[in-house]
Chains A and B, each alone.
Chain A
């Protein structure tokens, strides 16, 4: 399996994926054999449980579909992850989501970060001594925008809109649900964050190229693909971790040409009349202060593989950092000095010198620590180069502590916040037997009694993202502005892609559920079902074959069953019935509706939202667009009024809102 995973890296991602699927049937994976009957569950109950854990929530009628198809077959289909996804394609049209297929190099030269924008301004003389005073002025900004538009440059917020929206669309409308669930899981495991400017532009490709294609493969493949990706190399600073103990670097320093260059650079940096001087000076300071950076080495052991108590020492951390010196990023800024340097050197020269180029990954032989090393008791001889780092990753991936750590994390995600030691130990054995094959581990989970145990059912609480997506799926909602869903996830406590710490979001109910987040969950249910979230359309009548319930009580009973299949809801219904029994209620509510203040939105995400809303709005009517523009203009007043949606005030919508906001719907 290891050799296989090596081999397929030379194919394109797509080809490798097809191959992987073709091979998976005869791989060493155990047979799927779900013991739900032994654990006292009906097929329907089992299907509902399976859907609640391995998808982002059951769609109406999906429990029956899975039962009809057979639970095992459905699970296999999800493991193959090759169902067609027309709905996703339709909702992510290329003209509004062009970054989704862009390579990193194209992204960084299109969606400019702050530093690049400044360089554009400088290049276009927006930036000379005379106009520098006007940098804050609207005229300057307008001028800059004109230049950026003319040259095809875009703001980074537009890239983030596409990233965020694609996640929502794929989770809500994708057929290959397990692949999306695992992409979410592994992204969080190997977390990177948009809060760090240096890795922002790479997160799109990180999820698409380093995570998603590898979520069913061997753990080692994931580890290596994340280790080499620019997003991770920037997020945990390995790209700037270099060794001072390198013969090639010493030779370079000594050469006359290098000394002349250094002198020239230092002189340019002193000449403050030139716009680039400041950046150059900063670069030179950074270069002087560079050295070993242990961040990635520490986190790869503590968070990605062995776990904090995995049995490594501080010495191991430092030595792993030394082994990974030189693991860096191919220069990709057009006309940047790095790009010129690499082009001038040429591939043959680089290869001869021990450099390795793989896509965006660059191993810099001139920054690598060449001395011999001992890591976790294993000796690595001197001059190990790029292969040394690869061996370290392989050793970490196959370490028994890693097997246990990853098994625990998977069991926590799919079975229970507190998985039994016995289950974890069975998964650990399977991990070691299959070289960390993720499919084999998932099969071991569904084959376990623990997964089907009645104490595991509904034991997990959905994350805000899972909650919001499950509401969309349960109601067949049409989400035309996915970014609105993102704003709600933020309010409910999960600003995804922005979790700052490399730990990723904690995976336990007590983290997600607290006073503020719970209130927002209830309010989400109400706003969602009554269609007060802009761009969210529901057809609740269609869920009940267009039969209108005769009373509020009937609506309650009918919609509880549709939205929460195979759950025991008698007590919920009994309690709610007492409240909705007043038949005059609907009239009272309708007549009392509206007239009060429109909703307000918090300020912190305002600017980004505006961008996202404007682009999400392409499909909206002119009237709605005007309302949005008005909102954008009123930016200075705090808090800001958002697009106001009249919504649906019917009893069915309100009852649905209460069901979605209810504790039962928070569980999975």
Chain B
């Protein structure tokens, strides 16, 4: 509770002490892409994107040079050699799906790392169980009551604001369950006292609530009340509505695009966010997933375009931000009878940031020959997701103690971040 009180007293709040509507419009100043000189030290931000449904890692980042792949996926095989819709060659072994073209420059510039063959040691092929295990960070225990990102927040070791951990979802994701305060909100404009179409009454209601929560004998309620009203002042709804991304960036009008746009808004508003969480759906491609066009291609394009838009919008803030994607498992090495792929084991993930040792596909993948596959059908997990998460969060957020972050795990981090 100490941290909350300290937040109230922090000098930063003086900026916002002007009462309702008296918020400096720093958003307007932020839009020219220049960095605002912040009144207090800027924190690092880790943005996590969960691709729910299990992305086909073998198509997103394809080991096209493995001759087994073509045999396993007669109509889904893609390579850089094709004339139309060809893959983008990364290193002579792996190719990037053409719909992920927006990632190519990041990879070339060395700020994006790809980790392949990543997944959980628990071989469940149930979406629910695999997401649960990945988000709790304990692949063999369901009753872990906190999520790994919530524990990461707890390890930050300094005071935080109510916006320290924000999920752009309607309810809190499993990753953020836990004792450290986290905020789930799918539309920042809702972060205000609202009486639709009645500004005078709204103002009265807001003042009344502020006064009532100030005097309640319940400490839990009075603290949260104070925080809420300070937070409203920090997040002036009008500024959110009129938010203009830097560099003329236009976000895809999709759930992920909207989430990342709001995350960018929060970062530029300097509200103290350090962990952000967003989701992307539609990855469960059992049927007709397509190749250069089709269901998966559309999803990959939205995914990469949204992230690329976010990165360009971040502009002067890029040093502070790292983006990490994750998905619960991968899909079968072979295609199925309906032009899709079924639940498998390992997939791939992307890490983007200026402190990432990028330009490399980190992997321990052998071949796609039957004897190298798990149960003779799936790309086996050769990199534990915890070794990636712990390395990225540990390095970017400057947190240690993997015993707390991932209880029961004694592995080591994958060195994919600059020292």
In chain B, what residue has the closest Cβ to A514?
Answer: B181
Contacts of B126 in A (CB 8 A): 196, 198
Decide yes or no whether A273 CB sits under 8 A from chain B: yes
Q: Which of A512-553 contact B (CB under 8 A)?
A: 513-516, 518-520, 522-523, 526-527, 530, 532
Assembled-state Cα–Cα distance A593/B181 (Å): 36
Contacts of B207 in A (CB 8 A): 579
Assembled-state Cα–Cα distance A657/B204 (Å): 11
Assembled-state Cα–Cα distance A579/B162 (Å): 28
CB A329 to nearest CB in B, in angstroms, measures: 16
Q: How many residues of chain B get a CB closer than 8 Å to chain A's CBs? A: 76
Decide yes or no whether A666 CB sits under 8 A from chain B: yes
Contact A663 B213, beta carbon cutoff 8 Å: yes
Interface residue stretch chosen among B79-87, B111-119, B331-339, B347-355: B331-339
Contact with A along B125-144 (1 / 0, CB 8 A): 11111001000100001111
Interface residue stretch chosen among B18-26, B221-229, B384-392: B221-229
Assembled-state Cα–Cα distance A526/B209 (Å): 11
Neighbour of B143 across the interface among A303, A458, A595, CB < 8 A: A303
Decide yes or no whether A662 CB sits under 8 A from chain B: yes
CB B401 to nearest CB in A, in angstroms, measures: 21
Contact A638 B255, beta carbon cutoff 8 Å: yes
CB B300 to nearest CB in A, in angstroms, measures: 15
Neighbour of A282 across the interface among B145, B208, B209, B342, CB < 8 A: B342
Interface residue stretch chosen among A149-157, A250-258, A336-344, A596-604: A596-604
Contacts of A501 in B (CB 8 A): 132, 136, 142-145, 174, 177
Decide yes or no whether A135 CB sits under 8 A from chain B: yes
Assembled-state Cα–Cα distance A506/B177 (Å): 10
Decide yes or no whether A498 CB sits under 8 A from chain B: yes
Neighbour of A518 across the interface among B186, B224, B295, CB < 8 A: B224
Contacts of A295 in B (CB 8 A): 142
Contact B337 A515, beta carbon cutoff 8 Å: no
Contacts of B12 in A (CB 8 A): none
Contact with A along B250-270 (1 / 0, CB 8 A): 000111001000000000000
Contact B218 A461, beta carbon cutoff 8 Å: yes
Contact A602 B170, beta carbon cutoff 8 Å: yes
Contacts of A592 in B (CB 8 A): 198-201
Decide yes or no whether A571 CB sits under 8 A from chain B: yes
Contacts of B213 in A (CB 8 A): 518, 662-663
Contacts of A588 in B (CB 8 A): 200
Assembled-state Cα–Cα distance A498/B287 (Å): 27
Contacts of A518 in B (CB 8 A): 213, 221, 224-225, 228
Contact A278 B143, beta carbon cutoff 8 Å: no
Interface residue stretch chosen among A173-181, A422-430, A488-496: A488-496
Contact with B along A126-165 (1 / 0, CB 8 A): 0100001101100000000000000000000000000000
Neighbour of B337 across the interface among A136, A275, A649, CB < 8 A: A275
Assembled-state Cα–Cα distance A597/B336 (Å): 48
Contact A663 B375, beta carbon cutoff 8 Å: no
In chain B, what residue has the closest Cβ to A273?
Answer: B337
Decide yes or no whether B382 CB sits under 8 A from chain A: no
Contacts of A302 in B (CB 8 A): 143
In chain A, what residue has the closest Cβ to B167?
Answer: A516
Contact A596 B143, beta carbon cutoff 8 Å: no
Contact A493 B216, beta carbon cutoff 8 Å: no
Neighbour of A532 across the interface among B127, B136, B196, B339, CB < 8 A: B196
Contact with A along B178-214 (1 / 0, CB 8 A): 0001111111011111111111110011011101110
Neighbour of A513 across the interface among B127, B172, B183, B224, CB < 8 A: B224
In chain A, what residue has the closest Cβ to B339?
Answer: A132
Question: Given A649-B201, A662-B212 in contact, is the A278-B193 Cβ separation under 8 Å?
Answer: no
In chain B, what residue has the closest Cβ to A655?
Answer: B208
Q: How many residues of chain A get a CB closer than 8 Å to chain B's CBs? A: 91
Neighbour of A579 across the interface among B177, B208, B232, CB < 8 A: B208
Contact A519 B191, beta carbon cutoff 8 Å: yes
Question: Given A298-B141, A576-B211, A600-B190 in contact, is the A666-B221 Cβ separation under 8 Å?
Answer: yes
Decide yes or no whether B215 CB sits under 8 A from chain A: yes
Q: How many A-B residue pairs have CB under 8 A?
A: 231
Assembled-state Cα–Cα distance A649/B200 (Å): 11
Decide yes or no whether A509 CB sits under 8 A from chain B: yes
Decide yes or no whether A580 CB sits under 8 A from chain B: yes
Contacts of B177 in A (CB 8 A): 500-501
Contact A278 B194, beta carbon cutoff 8 Å: no
Contacts of B220 in A (CB 8 A): 461, 509-510, 513
Assembled-state Cα–Cα distance A145/B226 (Å): 51
Contact B195 A530, beta carbon cutoff 8 Å: yes
Assembled-state Cα–Cα distance A455/B192 (Å): 33
Decide yes or no whether B304 CB sits under 8 A from chain A: no
CB A390 to nearest CB in B, in angstroms, measures: 24
In chain B, what residue has the closest Cβ to A133?
Answer: B288
CB A226 to nearest CB in B, in angstroms, measures: 16
Neighbour of A649 across the interface among B192, B193, B198, B209, CB < 8 A: B198
Contacts of A666 in B (CB 8 A): 218, 221
CB B1 to nearest CB in A, in angstroms, measures: 9
Contacts of A605 in B (CB 8 A): 170
Decide yes or no whether A83 CB sits under 8 A from chain B: no
Contact with B along A633-655 (1 / 0, CB 8 A): 00000110000000101000010
Most buried by A among B125, B171, B185: B171
Assembled-state Cα–Cα distance A666/B225 (Å): 12
Contacts of B342 in A (CB 8 A): 278, 282
Contact B187 A602, beta carbon cutoff 8 Å: yes
Decide yes or no whether B231 CB sits under 8 A from chain A: yes
Contact A600 B189, beta carbon cutoff 8 Å: yes
Contact B142 A502, beta carbon cutoff 8 Å: yes
Question: Given A132-B338, A575-B211, A654-B205 in contact, is the A285-B377 Cβ separation under 8 Å?
Answer: yes
Contacts of B194 in A (CB 8 A): 523, 526-527, 599
Question: Given A603-B186, A604-B169 in contact, is the A515-B218 Cβ separation under 8 Å?
Answer: no
CB B128 to nearest CB in A, in angstroms, measures: 4
CB-CB nearest 7 A-B residue pairs? A272-B337, A602-B186, A663-B216, A515-B162, A604-B170, A596-B197, A196-B128
Besides A500-B177, A575-B208, 19 more A-B contacts (Cβ < 8 Å) are A132-B287, A135-B288, A136-B288, A195-B128, A198-B126, A495-B170, A498-B171, A514-B162, A516-B185, A519-B231, A522-B205, A579-B204, A580-B204, A588-B200, A592-B201, A597-B196, A649-B198, A654-B204, A654-B205
Question: Can you spell out 21 A-B residue pairs with CB atoms less than 8 angstroms apart?
Answer: A236-B142, A278-B338, A278-B342, A286-B125, A298-B141, A458-B218, A461-B220, A495-B170, A495-B171, A501-B144, A509-B220, A514-B227, A571-B215, A588-B200, A592-B201, A596-B197, A604-B170, A663-B221, A664-B212, A666-B218, A667-B218
